[in-house]
Amino acid sequence: MKLKLLLILTVCFLLVGCTSSQEQLKCDIGATTITITVEKGKIISYYDKIEGDLPQEEIDVLNESHLKDITNNQEAMDKLKDVIASSGGNCNSN
């Protein structure tokens, strides 16, 4: 009986614990492509194909200026798409 309970709990943990709450947005802006990873409505990673990874300090500024009161990934991605589109870019979410 204990083995069955342990097996059930392990399976539940794996199913719930292995789901990712991160989403990615790939955007073409001029001559470069950027990949933005969003988690809990905030940018956690920003990679520019030409410039490389954006430092955490600059990611914090982007979060504060564009995603201040957002906690939902979909809202954050919609907001980022609008900001990038206003700069002449085009985005696709993964």
Please count the CA atoms within 13 angstroms of the CA of 36 that sit on its side-chain side.
Answer: 26
Q: What is the mean pLDDT of residues 28-56?
A: 95
Residue with tokens 């957002």: 70
pLDDT at res. 20: 58
Residue-wise pLDDT for 3-28, tens only, equals 665 556 555 555 555 555 899 999 99
- pLDDT mean across residues, the chain: 85
Q: Is 29 exposed, middle or buried (0-12, 13-18, 19+ CB in 10 A)?
A: middle
pTM flag (> 0.95): no
**Cα-based distances in Å from 63 to 15, 50, 87, 93:** 30, 22, 17, 18
